[in-house]
Structures are given as structure tokens and as C-alpha cells.
A = this chain, B = another copy of it.
Amino acid sequence: MLVKEEVGSKERVYVEDVKKAHGDEVLVRGWVHKIHDLGKFGFVHLRDKTGIIQLVADKEILKELRAEMSVEVVGTKVENSKALGGIELQIKDLKVLGKTYYDMLPIAVTQGKTKVHLETELDHRGISLRAPKKRAIFKVQEEIVTAFRDYLRGEKFSEIHTPKILGTGTEGGSEVFTVNYFDRRAFLAQSPQFYKQMMVGAGFERVFEIGHAYRAELHNTWRHLNEYVSLDVEMGFIKDENDVMDLEEGFIRYLFDYLRKTCTNELKMYEIELPEKVEIPRIPLSEAHKILLGKYSKKSPVGNIDAEGEILFSKYVKETYGSDFVFLTEYPVAKRPMYAMPDGKGMTRSFDLIYKGLEITTGGQRIHDYEMLKENIIKFGLNPEDFDFYIENFRYGMPPHGGFAIGLERLTMKILNLENIRESTLLPRDMKRMTP
């Protein structure tokens, strides 16, 4: 540690390191997690970022303490097989660092499974996240992001940051938020789609971005957010969309290995065993439609699959291939954006990735030829002039390319088998929620 946290001659020890720390006396810091008052003395659980440890406090100290205050403690290590982790600290000195000002905690932090309503939890995020099991979700999320970045940097991808304030709605769609930008109207980016393609062409060849995306969708469901973190990828010099699927499949494999190593405790808290083997079947949408109809009498909308269909088809894939994932391929031209590469048979070289019954990715090969792109924009009833800044890039030798985007909160939710996407969002934004 470069930053010493000293008090007098003592350096702070994190709870997870107490056992191996030198000396009999250690200094710890954290929050009062639980107080068990036995009259003449009591047991106190102290919680820090890394874990929980038992303190033994006398009467005088006990009466100073309230749940969730933050304290600094110098204590003597005592082995105790009944204590958490087999060790406790006899308090020698205790200093209150952060006082409390409440009559009753809005949420009980000590319960593994919070019993309050999700909305109450979200209203009091600063306190509900103190429950180790809740905070664990974001440890997993952080490591997903780290794995994504490490994997792609290892594959020669460059990390970029593109603007979220746009002069034109990204894909000409209607579900965009408007911003009052000085005397003009601007839009919040629905995705970095145009910019990541631009950067492939600008010579980065392979790029990724971890950033917010905005959707003004009028859905308030367990799987929709109006602001989310998009893990975006775009790759130049591909052969076709299979290169893009190979990349994503490689990432999922890397991710699961990485999470098993870095989030052992967190996965255990949620009773998750990540599969050792990841082999993702690639199935054309039309075939999925047939299977859904034949096996489950489930009709699908034209050129797509609905939420119920995603769940049923995932069930089928799990039973048939033993996979939690499936790539749906060959979406029809009319149902994909104007930049999707047609395959010459009325379909596009695009795909969705479904994971445990939920779409977590849309991707595919893009059109890279200037004339073809312009024609396609016109075919879609759009005006090429509105996309001038975008199509300009295609004049100068844009290589074949493609990419995908993963919704970070959706991936986190599904890995941990959470029920609502808001559980895997630090501070969600939806139609009804703008605070905290």
C-alpha cells in the first residue's frame, strides 16, 4: 500500500488481513455491524470493505456504540474458534469516527437477505449496500468490467471515450432523450454505434468503450433501464459476423474463468457455479421460430422473438445443448438497423445473444461500402444528409467490420440469478426514479 493509514505508530489492517498481521495488537476501522450486549461485556461485529470481525467490548465502550457508526479500534488478537474466522479482538482503544443521527435504521444491514421492498432498498442505497450480500453484486460487476477490458486489451483493442451528447439521434430512432444544449436541441446517445465504427476506420482497427447509453423507452419492467452501462466492441478487418461471435464467445469464456478466481466468495453467497465449458450454439432465428412453435406452440413476432420466446428457447437450448447461452442469427433486413450487413438472402449478418432467457447482446457485421450504405439509408426511408458525419467515414477505405454491445447490468443480473435489473444497478434510472 502506497497510502499509509497510520494512527500513532499503527497502520490500519483490513479485516481480511487481521489473522496474518504481525504483532498481537492491530488497528482496524469500519462500521459497527451488530452489537450483542451481555451486560458486563458484549460482542461487537465490526464490518469493513473486506469482511466482518468480532470485537470484545466492556460495558463502558458498549454504551458508546450504536449500530452503523464508524469507528477505529485498537485491539488485541485472541484466537476463538467460536468467532467469525476463528479470531476476535479485545478492544484496547476505540474512537468514534462517524456519528449516527437516526431513531431507527431504514433497513437492517445485518440480514443476509434484506426483507424490505426493492424500492425501499433503492431509496436508501447508501445504507442498503452496507449489507455484504448486496455490495457483493457490485464486486462481481466490477470484475466483469475488468475482465472485459483485460480480455480486449489482450486482443489489441483500444479503449475509447465517445460523446453522449449528439447532434442527431443515433439511429434515427424515436426513443431518445433530448437535451437543451445552449440554444439548440441535442440528444443523449442510445449507443456509441456510429463512433465506434468511425474509430475502427480512423485506424484504431479494434475499439471498445465502457460507457452510459440512454433509452427513452416507455417500459418499466424487470429488465429495462433508461440509463445503463454498455460494453461496446467494434472490430475491423473481419471476415464475417462469425468473427464477432467468436470474439464474444471468447470473452464469456475468459470472464467465467476470471470470476471464478476473483469472486469466489461473492459467487458462493449467491450459490452460483459458473460452467467450466462455454460453447455457444448459433441458431438461425427462423429455426428458433419453428422450434418454439413445434415444441411449445409458441408463436413469435415477425423477425424477432419476444420475452416469453427468449425464456422458452433458452430452456430448449439448455436441454438440448447444455448451454446457458445461444446466439440467434440471420435476423431479417427489415428488423435490423440500416447499417446491418445484408447476406443477400433477405437476412442480415447480425445476431442476438440470449443468456438464461434474456437478450444481453445485439451485434453483427456492418455495411462498410459507401455506396451500399447510402443506398441502404435511402431504402430505410431515411435521408443520407442527416448522417453526413457518419457516412463520410465510408469514403476512405473502411474495412469490413462488426461488433456487439453487452448490457452490463443485464449480464450481472443473469450471472447472479437476480430477479430485477435494478438490483444490479448501483443507482437505477427508470421512468419513475431519478433519485437518489
* Residues in A lying within 8 Å of B, measured CB to CB: 1-3, 5, 7, 12, 14, 29, 31-32, 47-50, 66, 68-72, 97-102, 105, 124-130, 132, 135, 138-139, 142, 145-146, 149, 153, 155-156, 158-168, 177-182, 184, 186, 188, 195, 198-199, 201-206, 210-212, 214, 216, 226-227, 229, 235, 237-239, 243, 246-247, 250, 254, 368-371, 389-390, 392-400, 408, 426-429, 431, 434-436
- Of B2, B129, B199, B205, which contacts A250 at CB under 8 A? B2
CB pair B99–A369 under 8 Å, yes or no, is: yes
CB pair B243–A186 under 8 Å, yes or no, is: no
With A49-B203, A100-B395, A434-B184: A164-B162 Cβ-Cβ less than 8 Å: no
Q: Chain B contacts of A167 at CB under 8 A?
A: 434-435
Q: Chain B contacts of A237 at CB under 8 A?
A: 5, 12, 29, 70, 72, 97
Q: Chain B contacts of A195 at CB under 8 A?
A: 426-427, 436
> Nearest 10 A-B pairs (CB), nearest first?
A167-B434, A389-B436, A126-B393, A129-B202, A69-B397, A98-B397, A70-B399, A70-B397, A49-B205, A2-B250
Q: How many copies of this kind of chain does the complex include?
A: 2
- Of B1, B126, B205, which contacts A396 at CB under 8 A? B126
- Of B127, B146, B399, which contacts A202 at CB under 8 A? B127
C-alpha spacing A426/B390, complex, angstroms: 15
With A47-B203, A135-B203, A398-B98: A182-B431 Cβ-Cβ less than 8 Å: yes
C-alpha spacing A166/B28, complex, angstroms: 36
CB pair B398–A155 under 8 Å, yes or no, is: no
Say how far A422's CB is from chain B's closest CB, in angstroms: 12
Closest to A161 in B: B229
Say how far A218's CB is from chain B's closest CB, in angstroms: 8
Closest to A370 in B: B101
CB pair B180–A160 under 8 Å, yes or no, is: no
C-alpha spacing A126/B389, complex, angstroms: 9
CB pair B163–A202 under 8 Å, yes or no, is: no
Q: Chain B contacts of A429 at CB under 8 A?
A: 163, 165
Q: Chain B contacts of A12 at CB under 8 A?
A: 237
Q: Is the interface of A mostly helix, strand, loop or mixed?
A: mixed
Closest to A433 in B: B167
CB pair A156–B14 under 8 Å, yes or no, is: yes
- Of B29, B69, B101, B149, which contacts A371 at CB under 8 A? B101
Closest to A184 in B: B434
CB pair B179–A97 under 8 Å, yes or no, is: no
CB pair A204–B49 under 8 Å, yes or no, is: yes
Say how far A68's CB is from chain B's closest CB, in angstroms: 5
CB pair A395–B247 under 8 Å, yes or no, is: no
CB pair A198–B125 under 8 Å, yes or no, is: yes
Say how far A80's CB is from chain B's closest CB, in angstroms: 25
C-alpha spacing A73/B230, complex, angstroms: 35
Q: Chain B contacts of A3 at CB under 8 A?
A: 155, 235, 243, 246-247, 250
With A180-B178, A397-B32: A165-B1 Cβ-Cβ less than 8 Å: no
CB pair B159–A145 under 8 Å, yes or no, is: yes
Closest to A251 in B: B2
CB pair A180–B177 under 8 Å, yes or no, is: yes
CB pair A427–B163 under 8 Å, yes or no, is: yes
Say how far A73's CB is from chain B's closest CB, in angstroms: 12
- Of B186, B198, B254, which contacts A434 at CB under 8 A? B186
C-alpha spacing A146/B398, complex, angstroms: 28
Q: Chain B contacts of A427 at CB under 8 A?
A: 162-163, 195
Q: Chain B contacts of A159 at CB under 8 A?
A: 142, 145-146
Say how far A227's CB is from chain B's closest CB, in angstroms: 5
Q: Chain B contacts of A71 at CB under 8 A?
A: 397
Closest to A29 in B: B237
19 inter-chain pairs at a CB distance below 8 angstroms, sorted by A residue, are A2-B247, A3-B155, A3-B247, A5-B237, A5-B239, A5-B243, A71-B397, A127-B396, A129-B203, A139-B158, A161-B408, A162-B427, A163-B427, A163-B428, A164-B227, A165-B188, A165-B434, A212-B212, A390-B436
CB pair A165–B227 under 8 Å, yes or no, is: yes
C-alpha spacing A54/B85, complex, angstroms: 64
